[in-house]
Chain A
Amino acid sequence: MSRTLWDPEVSRRSFLKGCAICCAALGLSDDIIPKMAEAATSKKRPPVVWLHFQECTGCTETLLRASHPDVARLILDIISVDYHETLLAAAGEQAEEILRSTVAENSGKFVCVVEGAIPTKDNGIYCKIGGRTALEILNEVAPKAAAVIAIGTCASFGGIQAAKPNPTGAKGVRDILNTTPVVNCPGCPPNPIAFLGTVLHFLTFKRLPPTDRLGRPLFAYGRKIHDHCERRPHFDEGRFAEQFGDCGHKNGYCLYKLGCKGPETYSNCPAVRFNDVGVWPVYVGHGCVGCTEPNFWDTMTPFYERLPNVSIPGGNGINNSAESFGKKALGITGAAVAIHALAGIGKKLAQKKGETGDE
C-alpha cells in the first residue's frame, strides 16, 4: 500500500475508486475491494508483457485516453507493464532486451497481453518486429505466460485483417495457442473496464474469470447489448427511428430499423459505457455495429441493414439483400408453377382437339 500512498500520480482515493469500478463491473461484493487493492499493489504481483501485432494501437489508445485517469494509471502504473511497445521509453536493442529479460525472469508467472491479429500465411512474414515474425514472437512468449489476454477484436478473432479475403491469413490468439489459457476481450476498441476487470480478477483470485464459449469473460460479455439497452422500451412498444435525423431519431427511439446490431452482439456497453462520461454508440444515436463478435466485418455489414447480403452462387461478387433474394426466388417459383399449370391446360386442350379431329 505504501507505494500507492506515496505515488504522486495516483492518489489512494482514486486508486480505490478504480478498484471499486472494476469490482462493480465484475459483479463482486464490496468485501473484495480491499483484497483486490492488496493484490494489485502486492510486490509479488505478476508483471504484464504487452505484445503488438497487426493492429492500429486503438486498444492502447482507448486505455490512455480514458478521461478517468484512475483506470489508465491503474493499468500502467500499479500493474507493472514491463514491456509495452507504444509506451516503452527504450527502443531497438534495449527494448528487445527488456522483453527477453522479463520473459526469462518471470517465466510461468507473467501475464501476456496481445493486441492485434497474427498473420499466418507465408510463415507469417506480413508482420515483423525486430526481424522476427509475430507468429515467432507469440509462440516464444505466450507459452511461458501464466495467462494470455487478447485485447481487442483483432487479437481475439482476427478483426479487420481477417475480413474476406483475409490476404495475410490473420488469426486470433486462440486459433494459434492451445497450451496457455486465453481470455478474449474483444471490441473495437474494447472497454478498458472489461480488460482491467480481467486483469484484477486474475491478480486477486489467481485464476481467469469464467468465460463464454468464445472465451469472453461473462461479467462483460455474458449478455447481449439489446437486452439491457436503454432504448429497449421503444423497441418493445414499436417506436422506431426510420432515418437518421427524423422525428423518431430526434426523440431517441429504437435504432433497430437503422441496422443496429445490438440484438446480435454480446457486450456490456449499455451498462459500463465509455470514457467515463456515460456515453456509448446507441446513446448518441448510432446503432451498434457488433464489434465484439467474430468476423464482424463480414457478417455485420452493411452496417445500416439488418442482415448481411446473400452472395449469388456463380455470380462474380454479385450479392443481394436477403429479402430481395427471397422475393426473387418466390417470384421465380411462382412463375414456374404458372408455366406448369399452363402446360397442363395446353396439353388437355391439345388432346381434346386431337380427339375431335379423329372423330
Chain B
Amino acid sequence: MDYTVKKVWSPLLRLYHWTFAISIGTLVVTGLYIHDPWTNSTLFGTGKFTMALFREIHFSAGFALMAAFIARVYLLIFGNKEERILSFAPVTPANIRNFFSTIGYYLYFGKKEHRPGHNAFAGTFYLLTLFFALGQILSGLYLMYPENLSIQGMGLALFGTQQEARFIHHLIMWYFMLFALVHVYIVIWNDIMDPEGLVSSIFTGRKFFEKKAGPSA
C-alpha cells in the first residue's frame, strides 16, 4: 500500500503535549500526597522536608502546566491548520457531523472519516481538558497565594472559600486521571484500527495517509 507523509504537529505543539502530560502525571502524584500524605515519620534533625519537597515539586509542575496551557491557547489561534480551534471545535457543520460519525466509529458502527488533525469528538474533549486545566491553574493559584487580595477576589468569585476551592481542585484532578486513561486507550485503539502512525505522530509530528483514501479534510 502506498502512503503519503503529512506534517501535522508543530514542534511547539509536541512540546506542549509532553509538558502537559508529564506535569499532569507529576501533579496527580504529588497532589495525592499533599491531600493524604502516605508517609509518616518520627525522625528529627534529618533535614528531610518530605511534605515541603512534595509541595515544591507540585508547585513547579503547576507552573509548567501553566506554561503548556498558554502555549496551547496560543496555538489554538496562531497554530497551523490542524492546531487551530476551528479545525476541530464542534461549531462548524462539518465538525458537528464528524463529532457524531466519530462516536459511531468508536462504537464499531460506520467508517472512519479521514482527517489530518484531531477528529471533532477528540477535539471537544481536548478543549474541555484545557478548560479544566484553566480551572486547576486558577484554583491552584488561589490556594498557593492565600494572602494576595486580588487573587482572593478572583478565587472567591469563581470557587468560594479556600476549602471549596480545594474541593474543586481535588475533583478536577480525578477528571485528569479519567482523561489520561481514556485518551491513551483511544489513541492506541485508533492506531490499531487504522494505521496512520497516530502514536508516533506526537513524537515526530508526521502522520501517514493511504494514497487512495487521502486526507479528506
Contacts and interface: CB of A to CB of B under 8 A. Distances in A.
Contacts of B42: 239, 247-248, 251
A54 interface: no
Contacts of B182: 333, 337
Contacts, number: 120
Nearest to B146: A224
Contacts of A214: 156
B161 interface: yes
A31 interface: no
Interface string A204-241: 00000000111000000011100100000001111110
A357 B108 CA distance: 22
Interface stretch (B65-73, B124-132, B164-172): B164-172
B149 A212 contact: yes
A293 B185 contact: no
Contacts of B50: 237-238
A337 B185 contact: yes
A264 B163 CA distance: 5
A296 B37 CA distance: 24
Interface stretch (B80-88, B92-100, B173-181, B207-215): B173-181
Given A299-B164, A326-B174, A240 B40 contact: yes
Contacts of B49: 236-238
A266 B185 CA distance: 44
Contact of B146 (A261, A266, A333, A343): A266
A256 B40 CA distance: 12
Contacts of A223: 146-147
A347 interface: yes
B139 to A, nearest CB: 12
Given A323-B36, A326-B177, A239 B41 contact: yes
Given A264-B163, A290-B163, A294-B161, A326 B171 contact: yes
Contacts of B48: 237-238
Interface residues of B, number: 41
Contacts of A236: 49, 51-52
A334 interface: yes
A308 interface: yes
Nearest to A326: B174
Contacts of A224: 146-147, 162
A294 B185 CA distance: 42
A300 interface: yes
B156 A213 contact: yes
Contact of B181 (A264, A299, A337): A337
A245 to B, nearest CB: 15
A265 interface: yes
Contacts of A263: 162, 166
Given A222-B147, A299-B164, A239 B40 contact: yes
A344 B147 contact: no
A12 interface: no
Contact of B108 (A299, A300, A344): A344
A308 B174 contact: no
A347 B161 contact: no
A340 B107 CA distance: 8
Contacts of B111: none
A323 B42 CA distance: 27
B142 to A, nearest CB: 11
A32 interface: no
Nearest to B184: A337
A344 B178 contact: no
Nearest to A210: B149
B186 to A, nearest CB: 9
Contacts of A290: 163
Interface in B139-168: 146-147, 149, 152-153, 156, 160-164, 166-167
Nearest 9 Cβ contacts at the A-B interface: A238-B50, A326-B174, A264-B162, A264-B163, A236-B52, A299-B163, A213-B153, A337-B185, A293-B161
30 contacts: A213-B153, A223-B147, A227-B146, A236-B52, A237-B49, A238-B41, A238-B49, A238-B51, A240-B37, A247-B42, A257-B36, A257-B37, A264-B162, A264-B163, A265-B162, A266-B162, A295-B160, A299-B167, A307-B163, A307-B170, A308-B167, A322-B171, A323-B36, A326-B174, A329-B178, A330-B178, A340-B106, A340-B189, A344-B189, A347-B108
